[in-house]
Each structure stands twice: as C-alpha cells, then as structure tokens.
Structure 1
Amino acid sequence: MENKIKVLIAEDLEPIRVKYAYYLGQCPEIELTGSVSSGTEAVSAALASPPDIILMDIEMETKDAGIRASREILASLPDIKIIILTVYEDDELIFSAFQLGVCDYMLKNSSNEEIISGIKAAYEGRSPIRPEIAGKIRSEFKRVKTYETSFLYMLNLLASLTVTELDTLYLLSSGHTRADICAIRHVEMSTVKSQIHSILHKFKKKSISEIITSTEDLHLLELVIKNRPE
C-alpha cells in the first residue's frame, strides 16, 4: 500500500485507547493521527486534520456521544470512513449509526487482526456486510414492515368506526369513565355500552384497554381525530 492509512482513535477508556494505539502502530500500512477520549474531541481532531478512518466508540461522555460525533463529522467530511466500536450489540444504536453513514461496526473484544482488517477494508471501500450486520439489517426491515402493516391495519379499523364510536374511544383513551362520557355527550349508559360493544366487535378484542394501548403505541387515535372531516 503506497499511502499509509490515517487513523484517529476516539475511545474514552485509556487502557483500550492505548491498546489500539500500540497495535495500530505495529502495522506499517497505518499511521495513527490522534487518540482522543470524547466525541467532542473526535469532532475537533477530525476537522483539524481529517483522517481516512475513525475508530469511534459509541458511548463516551454520553451514551450516544459516538453517534452524535459521527453525525457532525460526516456532515462536514462525508468521505471519512467511521468504524463504530461498542462493548455490546445494541441494535437500535448500531442501526442508527448505519443510517448516518458509518461503514462498519466492531465489538471492542474483536482481535487485533480483525480491527486492522476492518480498517483496511473500510479504506479500500470494501467493508463487508458480515453475517451479524446482515442479520441486524434484516431484523430492522422486518420490524419496520411489521410496524407499517400494523399501522395500516389499525388505521383501517379506526376508519371503520362511526363518528360517535370514535369520540367514545377517544374519551376513554383520555381517561374518562363511561359515566363521564354519558354526561359529556348527554346520552344514556346503554348507548355508551352499545358503542363500546361495537368497537370491541370491529377490533375483535375483549378489552377496550387493548385497543387504546395499540392506538397509543402507534400514535394513531389523535391523528385520526385531528384530521377527520368536520
């Protein structure tokens, strides 16, 4: 390799930082440009002297300091390759990192050979979609697809309610009792019970609380109420 790969280490634990610096220093193809202990310092170091690769710890001064730093660095220097370092596989944080544009992630207990191999692969633009990463991406797509399916399903069910049924469900979700609804809407208890029975039938549920929980999780009920025609 004609040009050395310039690497910046961002890791808040000094023993790990020193270990990485030592082993990277043994590789003739790599030049260590800096070693910092926070996301803030990582941003400053990267902007002052842009490296080719950054080994970025996710959790430093804050739980997501590495994510925040990566976002800021890539906004100004999109060609920098960032490899996320983590002690555990937090799917949500890791997927957030990939969405930002980081090119790889590695566990901190990866072997020195794996770290160096990952750096070289990232530099050459051939960061592999390793099985564990592919699995996380598939899981995320499945989660998103499930959410979309659930969202549309629940939206269709809400659309099947009459205006009075929708009002009743909304009042129940707002903490009002059946007696409250009778007073608010000036109707008999038998009317409210009939509407609740109809709602349960349409949703194929035994409890109104199940329906309320589902609509709250998807933030749907208020959306439907606010956007319904007058």
Structure 2
Amino acid sequence: MIRVLLVDDHIVVRTGLELLLHEKNGISIVGVAADGDEAIQKAKELTPDIVLMDLSMPKGKDGITATRILKEYLPETRILILTMHDSDEYLFRAIQAGASGYILKSAPHEELLTAIQLIYTGNAYLTPAATKRLMNEYLVKMQQEGHTSSYEILSEREKEILVWIARGYSNKDIAEQLVISVKTVETHKSNLMEKIGLRSRPDIVRYALQKGLLDFE
C-alpha cells in the first residue's frame, strides 16, 4: 500500500480527498493535517510514503516551508503539491524546496491517482501545462545560448506543417493532405509558432524563406 498523509487547511477538501483516495489503487490514507506545523509533526510520527501538501495555509507554516523542513527530516518521503495556484513562481519554489510533483486541485481524479503512483515509484510529476511551459523555456534558452537553431527544436510534424503553411495552404487543406484533423493542424501550428517566436502566417512565410525551405521551381 502507498501510505499517504493529507495536508490541507480546509476540512471539506481533506474529507473529500480521504474518501476519494483511501483504499483505492493501493493507496492508504494514514493521517491528515490542517497546516504545515501539524504536517511536520504527523509525518515524523507516521513516516508516510507520500505527503499530499497544500501550498496556502494561513495558520502555521505554509506548504513550501513545510516541504523544505520535511525533506530535511524525512528525505525518503516524497511530497506532491496539490494546489489551486497555476503559477510558475510557486512551481519553481516547490521544486526547490524538494517537492517531487505539482498538480492542480482542478485536475481530474484519475490524474491525481496517476501522479501519486508515479511519485511513489521515484518519478516526478508536473501538470501538463507546466511541463509544456518548462520545455518551451528550456528550448528557448538552448537556442539563445547557441546550442541549437530555432528550426531544430521543431518536431518533424511541425516542420512539415510549417512548410505547408508557408506554401499558402489553409489548415483544412493541410489536414486533408496529411490525413489528420484540422484541430491537430491548429495545435501544431500554435506550438511551432510559440517555439520559434512567430505571430502570423506572413511571419511563417518569411521564416521559411530565410531557412531556404521553399522550392519555387
């Protein structure tokens, strides 16, 4: 069983999580706490595998401070931050404090269960949106430091769609040519534009010309 300590200052949230998680997917709720101070005390007593930690708790220590202290006393205990804050600042602070994961309270129940299981096996877990932002920041940093060109950070499908767009094809035309949905084309278009800093179709055309991607024979 994965032994979990729940930490949240709202009794309704604690009760709901306990009902949701207890005895499901090999999870056992071994204790609950209402603030950071109580979380530290309970964790020392119970030595849980995972602490499901809220960030904002008005009384006592906040989630980040409690996480930092817990990792000093119980380095083997993994901490999953469960919060309403979809913020890079909170995310980075939580990771620096020693958290193994960061998930939003608005996430589906299945995602929370998956996050707990992944962290228990030694992996890390971030919300999909946070993962995307971190990857984009990393790729941009690599590009700025000269480790890679903007074109190289695109996936093969993104490169393909970039050329189709530069040739003047509509999203619908591209979808038909590649046998994918229009929504998929739009997603790839949005991702490639974000990765290489483009804002419009004319920007894509100019970029393709600069890179020598268009053949006008």
Q: TM-score range by the shorter chain?
A: 0.5 to 0.7
- Residue identity matched to 1:44: Q
Task: Name the counterpart of 2:96.
Answer: 99
CA distance in 1, matches of 2:25, 2:38: 26
Maintained 8 Å contact 1:95/1:137? no
Note if 1:14 corresponds to 2:24: no
Question: 7-16 vs 105-114, which deviates more?
Answer: 105-114
Q: 1:71 aligns with which of 47, 52, 68?
A: 68
> Does the 8 Å CA contact 1:86/1:107 hold for their aligned counterparts?
yes
CA RMSD of aligned residues (A): 2.9
State percent identity of aligned pairs. 32
Give the alignment partner of residue 81 of structure 1, picking from 59, 78, 85: 78
Alignment CA distance shift 1:8-1:92 (3 Å)? same
User: How much does 1:141 deviate?
Assistant: 5.8
Code of the aligned partner of 1:88: H
Determine if the alignment matches structure 1 residue 117 to structure 2 residue 126.
no
Residue 153 (structure 2) aligns with = none
1:32 equivalent to 2:29? Answer yes
1:42 corresponds to 2:47:
no
**Paired residue type of 2:129:** E
| Moved segments of 4+, more than 4 Å | 138-145
Larger helix fraction of residues: 1
Q: Which SS does the other structure have where 2:86 is aligned? A: coil
Rounded Cα–Cα distance in structure 2 between residues aligned with 1:48 and 1:115: 25
Distance in 1 (CA, whole Å) between partners of 2:41 and 2:100 is 20
Q: CA deviation at 1:136?
A: 4.0
Distance (Å, rounded) in 2 between the aligned partners of 1:74 and 1:140: 27
Which deviates more, 60-69 or 135-144? Answer: 135-144
Supply the distance in 1 between the matched residues of 2:63 and 2:117 (Cα, whole angstroms): 21
* Count of residues paired in the alignment: 145
The normalised TM-score by structure 2 is 0.59
What is the identity, as a one-letter code, of the residue corresponding to 1:50? T
Say whether the 8 Å CA contact 1:58–1:64 is kept in structure 2.
no
Structure 1 contact 39–61 (Cα < 8 Å) conserved: no
1:23 Cα shift? 1.0
CA-CA distance at 1:126 after TM superposition: 2.5
Gaps of 5+ in 2: 143-217
- The structure that has the greater radius of gyration is 1
Equivalent residue runs for 1:163-202 within 5 Å? none
- Displacement, 1:125? 1.4
Pair 1:39–1:140, CA change in 2 (3 A): farther
Structure 1 residue 76: Cα displacement: 1.2
Identify which of 41, 51, 56 aligns with 1:54.
51
Matched-pair contact (CA < 8 Å) for 2:37–2:66: yes
Asked whether the equivalents of residues 58 and 86 of structure 1 are also in contact (C-alpha less than 8 Å), the reply is: yes
